[in-house]
Amino acid sequence: MPLLSNLVIALIISFGTLITMLLGKYIADYILTATIANHIGACIIIAAISSKS
């Protein structure tokens, strides 16, 4: 029984990862330009640095 439970959990996590990767590829290919992606990345870095202090 634990083997079946682990298999179900692994399949659900794998499916979620696949969906996330496909969504990220779609966003990168059709929605974001390089400039917007750079600005978003810069904001994430600034937020991460400012949250440490």
Would you list the domain boundaries of the chain? 2-52
Residues 6+ apart with CB under 8 A from 32: 40
Instruction: State the chain's mean pLDDT as an integer.
Output: 93
pLDDT in tens, 24-33: 999 989 888 8
Amino acid at 26: Y
Residue 30 sits at the vertex; the CA angle it makes with 46 and 43, to the nearest 5 degrees, is 5
Amino acid at 22: L
For residue 16, name the pLDDT band (cuts at 50, 70, 90).
very high
Q: How far is CA 19 from CA 1, 3, 30, 38, 40, in A?
A: 27, 24, 16, 24, 22
